[in-house]
Structure 1
Amino acid sequence: MEHFNTFPDRKGTRSVKWDKVQELYGSDNVQPLWVADMDLEIASPIKKALHERVDHGIFGYTFTDEALNKVVIDWVKNHHNFDVASNDIVYSPGVLETIHMTILTQTDELDKILIQTPVYHPFQHMIKRHNRTLVTSPLINTEGHYTMDFNDLEVQFKTGVKMMILCSPHNPIGRVWTKKELQRVLELAKQYHVLIVSDEIHADLVYSGHKHTPMASLDSVASHPIITLMSPTKTFNLAGLQISYAIIPDKKIRTQIKNAFVRFGMTMLNPLGITALEAAYTQGEDWLSQLIDLLTTNKTLVETTLEPYDSVTVTQAEGTYLLWLDFNHLGMSHDDLKTWMEKEVGLGLNSGIAFGENGSGFMRMNIASPTTYITEALDKLTKALDNKA
């Protein structure tokens, strides 16, 4: 697999994942498997395109155009059977930045915004920081398989929820929502006039046997407003280049969000981000195919290695490179679990409770690394579990 057998040295690059280990865990001996970027070198065609752009030597004011829009349109159509109009595309530095602008323009202070926990933790922080009312609809966990609680979702919508932030595919539980599930969410949203903001940044990272369906591609969308958020950054390990796009068919909403970016002075993208997007979406297919193979290998390795242990359950991931591990059978408090994982096991995972109260006893593990690195982590974990038996 291209570039996937060699572990890159990321220390000294101001890497959040690697250069903050001491600060976050109080020790340099903790093996980080947390923040959602990859310990994998980017695809050669992207690297080549970036080199050529850097060699040009000038990084002046940059704009997006119809040619770039076509690259996005073709990718989304070919990979997700989703027809996108060029005028509907709004670029931004990141998905979260677009969610911020959406909250500011489409809701008022104290308005209710719903998320389905456990879910990507910045959602709840953004809602609170903008003085909106956080509403949660917990997902149902049935022996390691999560589903939406549609009865509760309707109950919450009835209270006057203004916006729902949907995570699809879902981080951290790894669900790839089925078309039937998404149809039901849409039906309820239309009935109760709830704006759907669909974070689909993990759309391309789906395992065999599953298929991502963009919420806005559903036949029953009709005139109901949906904002779709996508990016090549998770797919191709480009997060630091800050490039994403929103698909917003509703002209009024699209104009309001674009104007908000102007008000905050966010009107231009990083030229290297533009270069990377174009190269990724036109020349990155082979690399992505190899990546899915690697992630499948690593996911299977984690599942088979931990299967004999009753004290930990691996939630069956259908997408993303993040695994949701249930340690509740260890009988520890969440604080004790976190301390044990860092101090005794020597692994730096994401604390599950950060994703919602129903994440207590869970940890999120990033498997986007060479298999040897995942094997090293599993050796530490199984040794520690054996010692507790």
Structure 2
Amino acid sequence: MDKRLYDFDKMIDRKGTDCLKYDALSMFFGQEDLQPFWVADTDFETPDFILHPIKERLNHPALGYTYRSEEFFQSIIDWQKKRHNWNINKQWISGTPGVVSAISSAILAFTEKTDKVIVQSPVYFPFFQTITGLDRVVANNPLRRDGDRYEMDVDHFEQLAKEGAKMFLLCNPHNPGGMVWDKKTLRRIGEICVQYNIIIVSDEIHSDLILGDQPHLPIANISKEISDITITLMAPSKTFNIAGLATSFVICSNAKVRTSFNKMVNALHIHGGNLLGNIACEAAYKDGEEWLEQLLDYLKENRDTAISYLNKELPKLSVFKPDATYLLWLDFSAYGTEKEIERRLKTDAKVALNLGSTFGEGGKGFFRFNYGCPKSTMMEGLKKMVAAFKD
């Protein structure tokens, strides 16, 4: 039987669907006439092996309360084994609406007001919002730049641990830089957290979007000691373009830690699950492997094409080459102040990118560009950027 080929070049009109990426441009950027490359979802069709069971379920006239079936849990267990060589069991898995709500729940469950929570900037900006919004203190362990990627400052991390930090928010693969952290680094960071009794909350939502040779390694899969203090956050949403279904899950092997986390999730009453999201998650993990392999090939080509084009046309622009995700981290600092760059992107190029300073220390002068879209869409945006900044 011939392998089915999926069409990632297909154009989809998302306007008028209450789509954050397209329909909220005026709200976030002050103008509607921008081509959006900001929100971290893709412009690819949600695959039919997900849409079909959703449509089938919608043929039933009742959409009442739901629960997660045995098949739902088994699909996650099988996926983790196949894709990440991680053996987990059903008891380790809990459901949440999203990664950020899981982070907030963990902060509430394991820290007190004014406790310090370690982050590594520049990093996904809701990390900061959840910490400060819950009256905890950001303990920043800034990443160190090494060419077109970042590395962790492990010595400084240990100093923060010695000073009494209670939790560490890890982003792996990293957003916005795109690094897949190596085993040596993860082990050392994990061992420090074990030594100083720091809970690790690991955002691994981009773990299926690996573009390089280094595989994703869940930090909880390094050792039992590290697993015992780790709460891993995952979801099919970024991979299969189903973020609007608000379905994610948490993996935690330590029964005591898991019980405390689930107690908070239940108290906030965010444990119930989304009927269609549960169906989509199960379908994605049961039937999505071939589709994903083709998606990864397409994203690699998009990434390499974008980097080659920008390096040639805008040599003063510094571009990080991501190991994972569909996000490019672009250093525009050679072109002026962040405010001036932002103005040129909006006024001259007519594109919407994420502002780097929102990702914390080290992000100023950078902008994040989402290339998870048809190649023609990507190139249209890149060409407008080149025209706006080319000397």
TM range (shorter): over 0.9
Equivalent residue letter for 1:155: Q
Partner residue in 2 for 1:328: 333
Equivalent residue letter for 2:346: E
Q: Which of these residues, 125, 128, 131, is aligned with residue 129 of structure 2? A: 125
Q: Which of these residues, 346, 361, 377, is aligned with residue 373 of structure 1? A: 377
Q: Which of these residues, 260, 275, 279, is aligned with residue 271 of structure 1? A: 275
Equivalent residue letter for 1:164: F
> How many pairs were matched up?
386
Partner residue in 2 for 1:68: 72
Is the 8 Å Cα contact of residues 144 and 314 (structure 1) preserved in structure 2?
A: yes
Distance 1:27 1:273, change over 3 A: same
Residues 258-267 or 306-315, more deviating: 258-267
Is the 8 Å Cα contact of residues 169 and 176 (structure 1) preserved in structure 2?
A: yes
Partner residue in 1 for 2:320: 315
Deviation at residue 208 of structure 1 after TM alignment:
3.3
CA–CA separation in structure 2 for the residues paired with 1:219 and 1:265? 32
Is the 8 Å Cα contact of residues 191 and 226 (structure 2) preserved in structure 1?
A: no
Q: Gapped runs of 5+ residues in structure 1?
A: none
Residue 104 of structure 2 corresponds to residue 100 of structure 1: yes
Deviation at residue 68 of structure 1 after TM alignment:
1.7
Residue 59 of structure 2 corresponds to residue 55 of structure 1: yes
Partner residue in 2 for 1:178: 182
CA–CA separation in structure 2 for the residues paired with 1:221 and 1:171? 26
Is the 8 Å Cα contact of residues 8 and 41 (structure 1) preserved in structure 2?
A: yes
Is the 8 Å Cα contact of residues 227 and 252 (structure 2) preserved in structure 1?
A: no
- TM-score, normalised on structure 2? 0.96
Q: Which of these residues, 82, 87, 91, is aligned with residue 91 of structure 2? A: 87
Equivalent residue letter for 1:95: V
Equivalent residue letter for 1:49: P
Deviation at residue 223 of structure 1 after TM alignment:
6.5
Partner residue in 1 for 2:299: 295
Is the 8 Å Cα contact of residues 310 and 329 (structure 1) preserved in structure 2?
A: no
Deviation at residue 221 of structure 1 after TM alignment:
3.1
1:341-352 to 2 correspondence within 5 Å? 341-352=345-356
- Listed one character per residue, the Cα deviations across residues 316-352 of structure 1 (whole Å, up to 9, x for unaligned) are 100011110011111x111111111111111100000
Q: Gapped runs of 5+ residues in structure 2?
A: none
Equivalent residue letter for 1:322: L
1:128-277 to 2 correspondence within 5 Å? 128-219=132-223, 221=225, 224-277=228-281
CA–CA separation in structure 1 for the residues paired with 2:353 and 2:296? 22
Equivalent residue letter for 1:293: D
Is the 8 Å Cα contact of residues 200 and 230 (structure 1) preserved in structure 2?
A: yes
- Listed one character per residue, the Cα deviations across residues 272-318 of structure 1 (whole Å, up to 9, x for unaligned) are 00110111001111211111111111101111101122220110100
Residues 305-314 or 86-95, more deviating: 305-314
Deviation at residue 25 of structure 1 after TM alignment:
2.3
CA–CA separation in structure 1 for the residues paired with 2:366 and 2:235? 28
Equivalent residue letter for 2:322: A
Aligned-partner SS, 2:177: coil
Is the 8 Å Cα contact of residues 227 and 253 (structure 2) preserved in structure 1?
A: no
Partner residue in 2 for 1:356: 360
Equivalent residue letter for 1:283: D
CA–CA separation in structure 2 for the residues paired with 1:385 and 1:117? 27
- Identity rate, percent: 38
- Listed one character per residue, the Cα deviations across residues 220-269 of structure 1 (whole Å, up to 9, x for unaligned) are 63664111111111111110001111011121221122122222222311
Q: Report the RMSD for the aligned CA atoms in angstroms.
A: 1.3
Aligned-partner SS, 2:166: strand
Residues 232-241 or 259-268, more deviating: 259-268
Partner residue in 1 for 2:34: 30
Residues 29-38 or 48-57, more deviating: 48-57
Aligned-partner SS, 1:307: helix
Deviation at residue 16 of structure 1 after TM alignment:
0.6
Aligned-partner SS, 2:8: coil
- Listed one character per residue, the Cα deviations across residues 53-100 of structure 1 (whole Å, up to 9, x for unaligned) are 111232111111333211110100110011112111101111111111
Is the 8 Å Cα contact of residues 37 and 371 (structure 2) preserved in structure 1?
A: yes
CA–CA separation in structure 2 for the residues paired with 1:183 and 1:223? 11
- TM-score, normalised on structure 1? 0.97
